[in-house]
């Protein structure tokens, strides 16, 4: 799905949604036009610091590990995956689509004091992306519920590594601070492949290492059952609808580790999830399912 992620200041919650294929996603590939934000939250007081990337040895085409950004619990964010990015939202973090936004958009957000996350799909093939022809047919599984998308055979790390490395290189070249790799929970969905939890862990850790080797922070998207095993490999979490499905407590290992949880709800009202979000120190917002510019913060 073509999507733009925009992280914004303020604590707010977002309801998780299930795709027709059983997974959870940010936005559909056909998006509605953005609508003005009804809730321009102020900057969060939560600090974001920079940490030193681990000493994971880079591959032949990868640069040395460098310092990377570490978002802290409670930092405000905006998540925008469709339409022209509304850069007027006064929050510290934007999460936007890596393919659909230029280096100029990222630079403009940096000049305004924002950190910017690069949305890319890691676990599914997208027929509408410019690199679609690089994905071998043998890697493609069943549809994931979104037009033009199919689950990937994440067991084939050797084939997927250069494809994802190229996407992360794009994020780094455009100046992004972090990457949000989508669909990191294929093993829990009907992908067409007999994936195991262990194979998912191996794939997710490869994704995290590729980001870190490029000096990019990286977020774990959903995959709540594997949070305890992966919290040390990822710098933050991005979650949909944990309040609606009564799963937010599963994200607390990130908070305990001093790492942000960027959370969105689609169906619940802020009065239904914000009290819990504040208690758990989640960065929660309410969004339209299309992930346009509109947001409602806690």
CA geometry: angle 93, 132, 235, nearest 5 deg: 30
Please list the alpha-helical segments (H only) found in 44-156.
103-111
CA geometry: angle 33, 34, 36, nearest 5 deg: 140
Strands 217-221 and 236-240 come out as parallel
Please list the alpha-helical segments (H only) found in 24-116.
103-111
Average pLDDT, rounded, for the chain: 84
Tell me the average pLDDT across 268-296.
Answer: 98
What pLDDT was estimated at residue 190? 97
Split at pLDDT 50, 70, 90, the class of 40 is very low
Over residues 218-227, the pLDDT tens digits come to 999 999 999 9
Split at pLDDT 50, 70, 90, the class of 62 is very low
- How many whole angstroms separate alpha carbon 281 and alpha carbon 45? 12
Tell me the average pLDDT across 177-198.
Answer: 98
Tell me the average pLDDT across 182-200.
Answer: 98
What b/e sequence results for 280-293 when a residue is b if at least 16 CB atoms lie within 10 Å of its CB, and e otherwise? bbbbbbbbbbbbbb
Place of tokens 């995956």: 81
Split at pLDDT 50, 70, 90, the class of 59 is very low
Over residues 91-101, the pLDDT tens digits come to 999 999 999 99
Q: Which residue has the higher pLDDT, 280 or 45?
A: 280
Six-digit token pair at 133? 């022809």
pTM equals 0.81
Instruction: Tell me: pLDDT of 4 over 50.
Output: no
- Chain-centroid distance of CA 130 in Å reads 20
Tell me the average pLDDT across 54-61.
Answer: 36
What pLDDT was estimated at residue 66? 57
Instruction: Tell me: pLDDT of 239 over 50.
Output: yes
What pLDDT was estimated at residue 216? 98
What pLDDT was estimated at residue 263? 98
Split at pLDDT 50, 70, 90, the class of 67 is confident
CA geometry: angle 287, 292, 297, nearest 5 deg: 35
Over residues 20-37, the pLDDT tens digits come to 333 334 433 333 332 222
Tell me the average pLDDT across 172-193.
Answer: 98
Instruction: Tell me: pLDDT of 57 over 50.
Output: no
Q: Which residue has the higher pLDDT, 267 or 44?
A: 267
What Cα–Cα distance (Å) separates residue 157 from each residue in 114, 185, 192, 224?
33, 15, 17, 22
What pLDDT was estimated at residue 230? 98
Over residues 103-152, the pLDDT tens digits come to 999 999 999 999 999 999 999 999 999 999 999 999 999 999 999 999 99
CA 250, 251, 255, 257 torsion: positive or negative?
positive
- How many whole angstroms separate alpha carbon 226 and alpha carbon 103? 33
């Amino acid at each position: 799905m073509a999507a733009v992620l925009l992280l914004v200041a303020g604590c707010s919650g977002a309801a998780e949604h299930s795709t027709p294929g059983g997974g959870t996603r940010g936005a559909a590939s056909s998006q509605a036009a953005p609508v003005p934000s009804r809730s321009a939250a102020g900057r969060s007081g939560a600090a974001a610091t920079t940490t030193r990337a681990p000493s994971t040895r880079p591959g032949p085409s990868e640069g040395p590990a460098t310092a990377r950004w570490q978002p802290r619990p409670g930092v405000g964010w905006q998540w925008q995956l469709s339409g022209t990015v509304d850069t007027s939202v006064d929050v510290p973090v934007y999460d936007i689509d890596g393919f659909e936004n230029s280096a100029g958009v990222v630079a403009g957000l940096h000049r305004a004091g924002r950190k910017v996350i690069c949305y890319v799909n890691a676990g599914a093939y997208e027929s509408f992306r410019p690199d679609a022809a690089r994905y071998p047919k043998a890697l493609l599984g069943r549809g994931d519920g979104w037009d033009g998308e199919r689950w990937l055979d994440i067991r084939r790390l050797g084939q997927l590594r250069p494809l994802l490395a190229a996407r992360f290189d794009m994020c780094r070249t455009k100046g992004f601070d972090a990457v949000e790799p989508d669909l990191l929970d294929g093993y829990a969905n009907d992908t067409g492949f007999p994936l195991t939890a262990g194979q998912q862990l191996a794939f997710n850790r490869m994704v995290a290492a590729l980001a870190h080797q490029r000096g990019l922070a990286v977020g774990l998207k959903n995959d709540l059952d594997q949070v305890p095993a992966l919290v040390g490999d990822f710098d933050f979490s991005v979650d949909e609808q944990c309040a609606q499905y009564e799963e937010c407590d599963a994200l607390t290992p990130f908070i305990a580790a001093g790492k942000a949880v960027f959370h969105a709800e689609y169906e619940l009202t802020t009065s239904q999830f914000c009290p819990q979000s504040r208690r758990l120190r989640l960065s929660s917002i309410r969004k339209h399912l299309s992930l346009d510019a509109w947001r409602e913060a806690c």
